[in-house]
Structure 1
Amino acid sequence: MLKNMLKATAFATTLALATGSFYTHAFAETVYNRGAAAEAETVDPHKTSTTYEADIIRDLFQGLVMHDQKTNLIPGAAESWTVSDDGTVYTFKLRKGGLWSDGTPVTADDFVYSFHRLEDPATAAEYASMLYPVKGAEDFNTKKGKAEDMGVKAIDANTLEVTLKAPTPYFLEMLTHQATYPVNKASIDKLGADWIKPGKLVSNGAYTLAEWVPNDHLKMVKNPKFWDAASVKLDVVNYIPTEDRSSAMKRFEAGELDSYGDLPTEQLADLKAKFGDQVRVGPYLGTYYYAVKTDKAPWDNVELRNAISMAIDRDFLAEKVWQNSMLPGYSMVPPGIEGYTPSLAKYADMPQIDREDAAKKILEKLGYTPEHPLKMEIRYNTSENHKNTAVAIQEQLKPLGVEVTLLNTDT
């Protein structure tokens, strides 16, 4: 039973300069100007809420495990781990050379503190559920338990034991999410909310935070204390927010941006012709969806919500609006998660015309027709792609008696 209108994101369109383009001449400082489609709201791993922040946080911090360039799971802050025979106890061995950017060691206690902080209701973490498989985590987060009841324990300075409430084959994959990354307790205790400010933030990743000018740029510099600093080839990474995709293309062409992680899909064919293999479409694990407010009538009616969801032509959106840079989606969980098979909507195998007929009957039963339309508002983030998606859905629902108004909001 779906509450939302779904479209699973299968690919990400990216504009990038060819390998080696960031280098000017031998021994020069290497700078990467990375375009972003939105401004980060925070660099606190436990208060993150967007993918734009995730890119930055992954450069500043490192979790227990991480992905390589082919999304294979590899060691991160933990150099190895073992799993009990019943699949519920994970024992991580941290790197003995792992340091925070202030030179202090990264310890198992740092992860215990960080996991507790993520689940603490006072943190109000939007991604607290990433640790719900851990014993006692959900109870603590929902004020039904205590931090000390969580299945997280430091055996010694370099050994972390995590106990799950049930076997969870994809648990290690969940630990690649930025919300599970460690933070420095001493820094937070000393500075409070100011701990994330440039020049003050203590992190354990490949970079440290040097500057942050809102709506202009966020500058990170190589962290000499990072355990694998010798492998970090870029000296400086600048994240440059540019919401308007067309403007970003102009900045790329002018050499102001070295890459950009999104493209105006209506220009995709022209951009491919112009930039050739600099335009890349690659896999992206995520789901594009509209959340529905269900606290008031008529949207508290699940039958109504299902009718709206059925009526949306995902194939058209994927092929025409997103130029095949996405796949039609029928589950909140996208394909590609090892150990998990998503449950699909019951109407996933129905032809689109049959879905529309079924949706129309439901709407008519509930009293909605083109003559007496259902009022609906779609709010979309600033971008041509989001606007085009909303407009397409507006047109798809109109013949069924749904009058859609559109409202552009900030990202």
Structure 2
Amino acid sequence: MTRFLASTALAALLAFPAHAVQPAEGETLAENQTYTYWLLDAIKSLDPAKNTDVEGSDALRQLFEGLLIEDAQGNMIPGVAESHEVSEDGLTYTFHLRDANWSNGDPVTAGDFVYAWQRVVKPETASEYAWYMELMNIANASEIIAGEMEPDQLGVRAIDDKTLEVTLTEPTPYFLSTLSHTTAYPVPQSVVEEHGDAWVQPENIVGNGAYTLASHNLGVDIVFEKNPEYWDADNVIMQTVRGVTVNDNNVALTRYQAGELDRVQIPAGQYPRLEQESPEEATSVPYGCSYAYIFNLSEKGPEVLKDNRVREAMALSLNRDVIVDQILQGGQEPAYTWVHWAINGFAAPEGGMAEMTQEERNERARELLAEAGYGPDNPVRLSLQYNTDENHRLLAIAAQQFWRPLGIEIELNNVEWKVHTDRLQNQDFEVARYAWCADYNEASTFLDWFRTDGYNSGKWSNEEYDQLLAQAATADDTTPIYQRAEAILDEENPAVFVYHYAKVDMINPAIKGLPRENLRNTWYAKDIYRTAE
């Protein structure tokens, strides 16, 4: 977590230009400045208020720009806001906007942020990420989302066109780190109101990012072109960016090797070979995402999962070492916590299943199932849903094999991404594959997911857990709070935590500027360039 600490009444982020990355000495730029990357699934939405997935965020980061953005290490640096001040009590932030334009030439104003943020919390927008404004602790966000106050009461106002004031309910050390997220992007009110939901179509969309939307063929490809109206356009080298959807990761790798893609995820199990064959192309770095099997504990969920003994048995008996060492083989780590191991300042609690051997876990799982009345002669029967991807399929098969000897019969249910997320949102599943990627580099970005009123697709609820996270928001030392929160997750098993991600890719050596030290893998095409081969 990046913190700007005040030693006086005001803490100011010094005004300085956030110029795009430039070629290193001795590098020669290619004449053709294009970058083509792989997408697993169709992008659900290009509306900052309605996007919920990583691939959509990657696209929106090219089309829009928030108050702050991230550098190659994940540090917060100026975006639209070239400086800011924070009051002594930590409740009021004042941002000073630079001279920047929308892609249609209109100036970007503080009012554009006010409109966008009010739109996110407005119940009529039905934003799945409205809770993010609560997590940011923006004044009155909770009340507006609940329909108890009007959107214009949100703690954000335009003092003038170049000055934005944000009021928080309580001091929030990670607040600045939330501002590079797509939910906090500005949107052009006149365009949204003129075109309604169609405002994100290529012929209508207006953004303030380094690129414009040239075309979007849903489930096929998306193409961005350099935006001449971007405030730092003179320093943007990459002219065209294209995301290509390929549902089969192995096919995508073949297309990379044929020169059709510049970046692709390495399929499970292939990193050791590719790293040896192509050390300049195969990469593996920590990536702030955690993989889990979520249990549906809502009223719509299966009765058998209401028994924590069954949930604990499933969590215990999943052999994570086999998954990361024999199936994935890309530098991933076994997960016994929801928070990714590399998150700033996070320390896992002591004890729990992480300190048991797999044999001890399996024995305890058998005991728990027997206590609950289940076993090979009376198996638990559940459906495991996952979205289309070879890696997800391999892991689901492995989980099925780990659980079967204990008396847990799993039916595998493969669906497309949109169907998968819709079912998760509506609790139309029994057990579902899911992954959460950090919205900022601090443990609460993971732990807030399981709050009773968090994203929390399985609808698990624990009063002590909710109170801990509320306490953490203003605590000087969050470590013991977060450790207790993780201990509760270990005790109550709302999900089976499987592994912590690594970003395992093949990257064309001619492509420079992609971040390797940013835990969230936040990349901006404005920082990328292609060298001559």
Give the TM-score, by structure 2 length. 0.69
Q: How far has the Cα of 1:222 moved from its partner?
A: 0.4
Q: In the alignment, which residue of structure 2 is the partner of 1:195?
A: 199
Contact 2:284–2:330, Cα closer than 8 Å, also in 1? no
Percent identity of paired positions between Structure 1 and Structure 2: 36
Residue from 34, 51, 61 that aligns with 1:31: 34
Report whether the alignment pairs 1:349 with 2:362: no
What letter matches 1:40 in structure 2?
Answer: I
| Closer, same or farther: CA 234–118 of 1 in aligned 2, 3 Å | same
Residue from 202, 214, 217 that aligns with 2:218: 214
Report whether the alignment pairs 1:268 with 2:274: no
Report whether the alignment pairs 1:43 with 2:43: no
Q: In the alignment, which residue of structure 2 is the partner of 1:300?
A: 306
Q: Tell me how far apart the structure 2 counterparts of residues 174 and 320 of structure 1 sit (CA, whole Å).
A: 36
Q: How far has the Cα of 1:337 moved from its partner?
A: 4.2
Residue from 365, 370, 391 that aligns with 1:364: 370
Q: How far has the Cα of 1:340 moved from its partner?
A: 6.2
Residue from 327, 337, 349 that aligns with 2:333: 327
Q: After superposition, where does 1:204-283 map in structure 2 within 5 Å?
A: 204-260=208-264, 262-283=265-286
Q: In the alignment, which residue of structure 2 is the partner of 1:3?
A: none
Q: How far has the Cα of 1:25 moved from its partner?
A: 7.5
| Closer, same or farther: CA 134–370 of 1 in aligned 2, 3 Å | same
Report whether the alignment pairs 1:90 with 2:93: yes
* 3-state SS of 1:286 partner: strand
| Closer, same or farther: CA 306–136 of 1 in aligned 2, 3 Å | farther
Q: In the alignment, which residue of structure 1 is the partner of 2:414?
A: 408
Q: After superposition, where does 1:71-86 map in structure 2 within 5 Å?
A: 71-86=74-89
CA shift digits 1:284-333 (9 cap, x unpaired): 11121222222231223344323322322223322222214322223333
Q: Tell me how far apart the structure 2 counterparts of residues 93 and 302 of structure 1 sit (CA, whole Å).
A: 51
* 3-state SS of 1:153 partner: strand
Q: In the alignment, which residue of structure 2 is the partner of 1:119?
A: 121
Q: In the alignment, which residue of structure 1 is the partner of 2:131?
A: 129
Contact 1:374–1:403, Cα closer than 8 Å, also in 2? yes
Residue from 138, 141, 149 that aligns with 1:145: 149
Q: Tell me how far apart the structure 2 counterparts of residues 114 and 205 of structure 1 sit (CA, whole Å).
A: 15
Contact 2:43–2:55, Cα closer than 8 Å, also in 1? yes
Q: In the alignment, which residue of structure 1 is the partner of 2:63?
A: 60
* 3-state SS of 1:388 partner: helix
Q: Tell me how far apart the structure 2 counterparts of residues 302 and 80 of structure 1 sit (CA, whole Å).
A: 50
CA shift digits 1:325-373 (9 cap, x unpaired): 3222233332444466677894333333333333322221111101111
Q: In the alignment, which residue of structure 2 is the partner of 1:180?
A: 184
Structure with bigger RCO (C-alpha 8 Å, 6+ apart): 1
Q: Tell me how far apart the structure 1 counterparts of residues 317 and 123 of structure 2 sit (CA, whole Å).
A: 38
Q: How far has the Cα of 1:185 moved from its partner?
A: 0.8
Q: In the alignment, which residue of structure 2 is the partner of 1:14?
A: none
For structure 2, the residue ranges without an aligned partner over 5 or more in a row are 1-22, 418-533
Q: How far has the Cα of 1:43 moved from its partner?
A: 0.9
For structure 1, the residue ranges without an aligned partner over 5 or more in a row are 1-18
| Closer, same or farther: CA 32–122 of 1 in aligned 2, 3 Å | same
Residue from 308, 312, 315 that aligns with 2:318: 312
| Closer, same or farther: CA 266–112 of 1 in aligned 2, 3 Å | same
Q: How many residues end up aligned between the 2 structures?
A: 388
What letter matches 2:126 in structure 1?
Answer: A
| Closer, same or farther: CA 103–336 of 1 in aligned 2, 3 Å | farther
Q: Tell me how far apart the structure 2 counterparts of residues 377 and 363 of structure 1 sit (CA, whole Å).
A: 18
**RMSD (Å) for aligned C-alpha atoms:** 2.3
